[in-house]
Structure 1
Amino acid sequence: MGTERKTMFLSEESKKLTAYHESGHAIVAFNTEGAHPIHKATIMPRGSALGMVTQLPSDDETSISKKQLLARLDVCMGGRVAEELIFGQDHVTTGARSDLQTATELAKYMVSNCGMSDAIGPVNIKERPSSEMQSRIDAEVVKLLREAYDRVTTLLKK
């Protein structure tokens, strides 16, 4: 989580944006079946983050279901979608960069390693895939991310 950076000055506008971004994650986590419970939410800067929502599993995880992984994708999208809904598409910030990176890596893992894509099937692609297969993987990753984005947009508009 990193230590709290009490000396960092944030404008009121930046604090407001961070609060909406983090509340987007929290609302999605709280309202999505399969998501881990929220442990802590803060808009105090920690490490390189301006704020964060920390989730902890209720039990030890030995296997993770597709439903749980989709919930993680949704939580990742919560901050960016909240920014877009509150401030408009032209005012979405780079604050969601690491969330998008995490979501993209998770979607690739689901498709390439866990066989969680109907279009590609139950495969685990260890070696470097052919360009055709890589294109199919990329398309499935984008599909998973867009579906998560759409689910979160619907949820946060309620």
Structure 2
Amino acid sequence: SLMNEGAILAARENRFKISQFDLIRSIEKVMLGPERKSHILSKKEKEITAFHEAGHALLAGFLPNTDSVHKISIVSRGRAAGYTLKLPVEDTHLYSQKHLLDELAVMLGGYAAEKIVFKDLTTGASNDLKEVSEQARKLVMHYGMSEKIGPQSFGRSDELVFLGRDLVMEKNYSEKVAEEIDGEVKRLINDAFVKAKKIILRKRKFLDKLAKRLIEKETVEKEEFEEMMRKEKKRTTRQ
């Protein structure tokens, strides 16, 4: 568990109390995997990863309905070359439509940043694309958050064990409805991408500044990121 992992980290440093820093580190390890210090990025890979993660963080910082950024890093963990750790401002069991739509844009922040900065794309966004596709489909199929489809739930999961498969999803809708669902999923993802690009283009100088900081330090903590955000918002207010 997170508390156990936090206790282990504290004990290794001869401390008797678990700090918030220990909990953040345990969240990183449990959610993202251990640091891969042996995985050294090339100069170009480091630059691409820095802009990719800066894109995620920038969107999370400037959109109003997202989780807060706790850490941005280009130190490899698990299978990821870098990561942006976001955590809810407070414990919640309910997520609004506004929150989920803004989070779709955050998921595409790295993809959008790569496309804008390098005029090219890498395989680094593959997990983001998987997550945004799954989340958009949930909005349409399970949460009733598509105006076109309306308040309906599609697909029933039956817990069956058959030929080594633990879960079988029953398709309880027509091909016509399936096409409409696919169309709505595509629309949500496209809208999120347009939103992500618009904000990144508007805040391009801030993106460059944050990416440069990541290249220099490899990690930007919550406090530093919030200070950078505060200065940026103050600067734009003056204009």
Q: Provide the TM-score with structure 2 as the length reference.
A: 0.64
SS at match of 1:5: coil
Residue of structure 2 equivalent to 1:101 = 130
CA RMSD, 1 decimal = 0.8
Cα distance in 2, alignment partners of residues 100 and 111 from structure 1: 17
Cα distance in 2, alignment partners of residues 87 and 12 from structure 1: 14
Q: Please show how residues 83-98 of structure 1 align to structure 2 within 5 Å.
A: 83-88=114-119, 91-98=120-127
Residue of structure 2 equivalent to 1:31 = 62
The answer for unaligned runs of 5 or more in structure 1 is none
Shift of 1:77: 0.5
Shift of 1:143: 0.0
Shift of 1:61: 1.1
The answer for unaligned runs of 5 or more in structure 2 is 1-31, 157-170, 203-239
Q: Please show how residues 44-83 of structure 1 align to structure 2 within 5 Å.
A: 44-83=75-114
Shift of 1:125: 1.1
Q: After the TM superposition, list the runs of 4 or more consecutive aligned residues in structure 1 that deviate by more than 2 angstroms.
A: none
Q: How many residues of Structure 1 are paired with residues of Structure 2 in the alignment? A: 156
AA partner of residue 174 (structure 2)? S
2:186 maps to 1:142: yes
Moved more, 127-136 or 20-29: 127-136
2:143 maps to 1:114: yes
Cα distance in 2, alignment partners of residues 9 and 115 from structure 1: 44
Bigger Rg over Cα:
2
Cα distance in 2, alignment partners of residues 100 and 57 from structure 1: 22
Seq. identity, %: 37
Q: Please show how residues 17-28 of structure 1 align to structure 2 within 5 Å.
A: 17-28=48-59
Cα distance in 2, alignment partners of residues 26 and 156 from structure 1: 11
